[in-house]
Amino acid sequence: NRRIVLAARPQGEPADSDFRLETGEIPQPGPGQVLLRTVYLSLDPYMRGRMSDAPSYAEPVQVGAPMVGGTVTRVEASNHPDYRPGEWVLAQSGWQDYALSDGSGLLRLGSDPEHPSYSLGVLGMPGFTGYMGLLDIGQPKAGETVVVAAASGAVGAVVGQIAKIHGCKVVGIAGGADKCRYAVQELGFDDCLDHKAPDLPGRLARAVPQGIDVYFENVGGAVFDAVLPLLNPRARVPVCGLISAYNATCQPQGPDRLGVLMRNILTKRLKVQGFIIFNEYAHRYGEFREAMEGLIKQGRIKYREDVVDGLENAPRGLIGLLKGENAGKRIVRVGPD
């Protein structure tokens, strides 16, 4: 049984030395337990937060403990009445080949799911996040303009496509020409701007002549600075993530802009609302999953995975994800089907 543990708390960008691969015995299930074998591991930006002991909405991973993470697994052995060997199960096994579970928090995916790994992406936590954050907090209406950054990623791709289905004009922001081309040509966004090219504020202003009604916040930083002056009165800003700052070791330089932000919130009557997907919306996961399965079957939602091969490459995969090296939802293939 291989597992990757947190070796040290990163300073800034995580380094290889912050992780350690350990090998041990495959655990044996006790009474009422199932033994799960990991097939796919999800890599997600929140994992950077778990490596830190700064106050957050969730407990940090302890140094020496396995990294946490969502997994698609198969039941290897079971002493639990509800689980049979061979079944596919969505779990939270973390960065390891095998894990024991008493059944709590598991979701059965059946004996032969069509796309098992989708439960880590478009049908799982990131897809659910984009869907609920946009529809419940963003409240998009036909004809409105929706802007989303990290537009080609796991969350952003769902946000933009669902906004299109609701009749909105959608402008994505992404890192590089390839990601922008993908957002427009494959995902059907109206436009997509490269945040690494010069003059994002000017280009964004020209791309949204009617202003912005919904800004789905995934990144913060310079992208938010470009968005803020373009928000319309009564715009909605679901605050989902601030990935541009996850590796930061100090506050950004420059003048204090809190006053400008608060004045915009006041005078434009903005709705700025943070959310942590399973804290707010766990009770609506079934509803989301049914709707999204239908949209995928109808070919109305496209989905792209970026697969890292081998558990040993998970650290590099996470480090790269935080820098935008992923093209779509990043997952690790840990073992065979």
Q: Which residues bind ligand NDP (CB under 6 A)?
A: 44-46, 125-126, 129, 149-150, 152-156, 174-175, 179, 195, 218-219, 221, 223, 240-241, 243-244, 275-277, 321, 324, 326, 329
Contacts of residue 60, defined as CB under 8 A and 6 or more positions apart, other chains included, come to 49, 50, 51, 52, 53
CA dist 275 and 256 (Å) reads 25
- Alpha-carbon distance of 139 to 126, in angstroms, equals 18
- CA–CA distance, 155 with 44 (Å, rounded to integer): 10
Contact 52, 9 (CB under 8 A): yes
- Closest distance between ligand NDP and the C-beta of residue 120, in Å? 10
- Least distance from C-beta 118 to ligand NDP, angstroms? 14
- Give me the residue label for tokens 């090296």: 325
If the CB atoms of residues 26 and 276 are measured against ligand NDP, the closer one turns out to be 276
Nearest distance, CB of residue 33 and ligand NDP, angstroms: 29
**Measured from the CB of residue 148, what is the shortest distance to ligand NDP in angstroms?**
10
Burial of 87 (0-12, 13-18, 19+ CB in 10 A): buried
Which of residues 29 and 241 has its CB atom nearest to ligand NDP in the complex? 241
Task: Name 39's bridge partners.
Answer: none
Least CB distance to ligand NDP at residue 134 (A): 12
What does the block give as tokens for 35?
């033994």
5 or 155: whose CB is closer to ligand NDP?
155
Nearer to ligand NDP, 15 or 26 (CB): 15
Nearer to ligand NDP, 170 or 277 (CB): 277
